Structure 1
Amino acid sequence: MVKIKPEGIKRSGKHVALDSEQLEYVLRYWQENSCSDFSEALRKIINEHKTQGANALVATTIAEMAAESVVSSLKRTYLDPLRIRTGYADKQTKILMEMLNHVIVKNGWDDTNVVTTDHHKSNVYAMSEEKIVKQIEHFKQRKASKEVAKGTNDE
């Protein structure tokens, strides 16, 4: 059997110590992949290992790009409108807080004992809370009705 060494490739000999499991793995690889000798089997195993590392890097890069795309899509579709809606409610709440602060300070109620809703709810507060709860429930029902109608139109 004549071994032909590719031109321009320098090879150097090295004594390698393997445990029995590693040795069996290389020998099995040698047989299954029709390698010409033990060294060729080791070279192929090393090349496959390098390729797997590169493939893992490519897979990670693709996964990161896909995640960015999903986040970008969700942001446009769901997060931005949600942020706008909650920003509107937050703005209205802040305006009300400023107005209430003004009323409290101007009427001199700042020094009196504070009564919070966990101790006592005024009739005005209770009625307002009830109205808001009903309003939210109505919006949820309208949304559900639209989704059901949309689902039947798709079919």
Structure 2
Amino acid sequence: MERVTIRPAGPEDIPAIVAMLADDPLGATRESPEDLAPYRRAYDRLRSDPHQFLVVADREGEVVGTLQLTIVPGLSRKGSTRSIIEGVRVHRSERGRGLGARLVEWAVEESRRQDCHLVQLTSDAARPDAHRFYERLGFTGSHVGFKMQLGPA
């Protein structure tokens, strides 16, 4: 694992990130690796927002993992800032070797550097293995989440 570097994602990383997002039964139904234009637009929005951290795990020039960390200032909890971890993915060749934990640990440490008082994440109800993974890292299932689709995804 020592040869893996966690670094900010660049535009050249978009194809690898999208491929990882699409590489499971849920992602395969909602991602479109054959059309990268919407991902490039989203990347430009992320890059221009100082509260967004899109990172990749890089092993000798190959992208083998990714996640997005969002910093959210707020008034609740006595004006606490929180962070949200999303889009955690590890290339199938790297799964089970500790890279996912390392990415999440990076996000927790960055959250501390950003003076966050709470780190949260969501995981699709259809991902029980992911739930166990996050619990092993110290997260607790504490809320029920809701979504409202506003347009095509």
Same fold, TM exceeding 0.5? no
Q: Which has the higher helix share?
A: 1
- Highest CA radius of gyration, 1 or 2? 1
TM band (smaller chain):
under 0.3
TM-score, normalised relative to structure 2: 0.18
Q: Which has the higher strand share?
A: 2
Q: Determine which structure has greater relative contact order: mean sequence separation of CA pairs < 8 Å that are 6+ residues apart, divided by chain length.
A: 2
